[in-house]
Amino acid sequence: MSYTETIGSRTYRFADLKTLLAKASPQRSGDQLAGVAAASEEERVAARMALAQVPLRTFLNEALIPYESDEVTRLVIDDHSPQAFAEISHLTVGDFRNWLLSSTTDADALTRIAAGLTPEMVAAVSKLMRNQDLIAAARKRPVITRFRNTVGLPGHMSVRLQPNHPTDDVKGIAASMLDGLMYGCGDAMIGINPASDNLAAITRLLLMIDDFRLRYQVPTQSCVLTHVTNTIAAIEKGAPVDLVFQSIAGTEKANAGFGISLALLQEAYEAGLSLKRGTVGNNLMYFETGQGSALSADAHFGVDQQTCEVRAYAVARKFNPFLVNTVVGFIGPEYLYDGKQITRAGLEDHFCGKLLGVPMGCDICYTNHAEADQDDMDNLLTLLGVAGINFIMGIPGADDVMLNYQSTSFHDALYVRDVLGLRRAPEFEEWLESMQITDARGALLSASPQQPLLEDANDWMGTV
221 known member of a binding site: no
- CA separation for the pair 346, 91 (Å, rounded): 26
User: Does 194 carry a binding-site annotation?
Assistant: yes
Question: Cα-Cα-Cα-Cα dihedral of 122, 123, 125, 128, to 10°?
Answer: 160
Q: 126: Cβ–Cβ under 8 A, 6 or more apart, which residues?
A: 134, 306, 310, 348, 351, 352
DSSP for 361-420? Answer: EEE--B-TTSB--HHHHHHHHHHHHHHT-SEEEE-GGGEETTTTEE---HHHHHHHHHHH
Nearest CA to 355 out of 20, 23, 116 is that of 116
Q: Is 149 annotated as a binding residue?
A: no
The conformation of residue 446, written as its DSSP 8-state character, comes to: P
Q: Are strands 285-289 and 244-247 parallel, antiparallel or unpaired?
A: parallel
Is there a contact between 221 and 189 (Cβ–Cβ < 8 Å)? yes
- Hey, is 391 helix, strand or coil? strand
306 is in an annotated binding site: no
Using left for φ > 0, alpha for ψ between -120 and 50, and beta otherwise, residue 174 falls in: alpha
The torsion defined by the Cα of 280, 282, 285 and 291, in degrees rounded to 10, comes to -70
Q: State the Cα–Cα distance between residues 363 and 390, nearest whole angstrom.
A: 11
SS3 323: strand
Confirm or deny that 296 is annotated as ligand binding: yes
Q: Does 161 belong to an annotated binding site?
A: yes
- What is the biggest distance separating any 2 CA atoms in the chain, rounded to whole angstroms? 77
CB contact at 8 A, 205 and 212: no
**461 is an annotated ligand-binding site residue:** no
Whether residue 83 is annotated as binding a ligand: the answer is no
Helix (H) or strand (E) holding 168: none
Is residue 193 a known part of a binding site? yes
Are 376 and 336 within 8 A, CB to CB? no
> Within 10 A of 371 (CB to CB), how many other CB atoms are there?
15
Please check if 129 is assigned to a binding site.
no
In the annotated binding site for substrate, the residues are: 160-162, 193, 288, 363
In the annotated binding site, the residues are: 160-162, 193-194, 246, 288, 296, 363, 402
In the annotated binding site for adenosylcob(III)alamin, the residues are: 194, 246, 296, 402
